Amino acid sequence: MHSKDIVACVVGARPNFVKMGPILRGIEACAPNVQTRLIHTGQHYDDAMSDSFFRQLGLPQPDVHLSVGSGRQGEQTAKILDSYERWLLDCEQTPAATLVVGDVNSTVGCALASTKLQIPVIHVEAGLRSFDRTMPEEINRVVTDAISELLLVSEPSGRENLLKEGKSDESIRLCGNVMIDVLRSQLDAATALDPLRKMGLTKNQYAVWTMHRPSNVDDPEQLRRFVDAMTQISQLLPVVFPVHPRTRNQLETLGLWQTLEATSTILATDPLSYHELLGLTSKAKVIITDSGGLQEEATALEIPCLTLRENTERPITVDEGTSVLVGHDVGLLVKLVDDVIENKFKQGKCPQLWDGSAGRRVGAEVATFMASRKNPS
pLDDT tens digits, one per residue of 159-197? 999 999 999 999 999 999 999 999 999 999 999 999 999
Residue 88 CA to residue 115 CA, distance in Å, equals 11
CA distances in angstroms from 78 to 16, 43, 62, 110, 248, listed in the order given: 19, 12, 21, 10, 26
Average pLDDT in the 333-350 region? 96
Give yes or no for residue 142 having a pLDDT over 80.
Answer: yes
Average pLDDT in the 208-237 region? 96
Per-residue pLDDT at 3: 72
Q: Which amino acid is it at 15?
A: P
Give yes or no for residue 114 having a pLDDT over 50.
Answer: yes
User: Is 104 within 8 Å of 16 (Cβ atoms)?
Assistant: yes
User: Is 365 within 8 Å of 175 (Cβ atoms)?
Assistant: yes
Residue 369 CA to residue 99 CA, distance in Å, equals 12
Residue 6 CA to residue 95 CA, distance in Å, equals 5
Nearest CA among 126, 41, 145, 46 for reference residue 83: 41
Phi and psi based region of residue 240 (left: phi greater than 0; alpha: psi -120 to 50; beta: remaining): beta
The ranges assigned to domains in the chain are 5-176+355-374, 184-341
Give yes or no for residue 134 having a pLDDT over 60.
Answer: yes
Residue 35 CA to residue 38 CA, distance in Å, equals 10
CA distances in angstroms from 334 to 156, 308, 315, 341, listed in the order given: 32, 12, 22, 11
CA distances in angstroms from 44 to 12, 69, 140, 150, listed in the order given: 6, 7, 17, 26
Nearest CA among 245, 267, 219 for reference residue 45: 245
Nearest CA among 57, 344, 47 for reference residue 189: 57
Residue 349 CA to residue 203 CA, distance in Å, equals 21
To the question of pTM greater than 0.75 for the whole model, the response is: yes
Q: What angle do CA 80, 84, 87 make, to 5 degrees?
A: 150
Residue 155 CA to residue 143 CA, distance in Å, equals 19
Per-residue pLDDT at 2: 57
CA distances in angstroms from 171 to 30, 131, 143, 365, listed in the order given: 19, 22, 16, 10
Fold of 184-341: Rossmann fold (3.40.50)
- Active-site hit among 40, 44, 123, 212: 212
CA distances in angstroms from 300 to 206, 293, 366, listed in the order given: 19, 11, 25
Average pLDDT in the 33-48 region? 82
Please provide the average confidence, as pLDDT, over all residues in the chain.
94
Residue 155 CA to residue 265 CA, distance in Å, equals 37
Average pLDDT in the 20-32 region? 96
- The two domains 5-176+355-374 and 184-341 share their CATH topology (first three levels equal): yes
CATH architecture of 5-176+355-374: 3-Layer(aba) Sandwich (3.40)
CA distances in angstroms from 265 to 41, 230, 235, 237, 269, listed in the order given: 38, 10, 7, 8, 13
Cβ neighbors of 309 (< 8 A, separation 6 or more) are 130, 213, 215, 290, 325, 326, 327
Cβ neighbors of 71 (< 8 A, separation 6 or more) are 79
Per-residue pLDDT at 35: 97
Check if 212 is active-site: yes
Q: Give residue 14's pLDDT band: very low, low, confident or very high (50, 70, 90).
A: confident
* Segment holding 323, helix H or strand E: strand 323-325
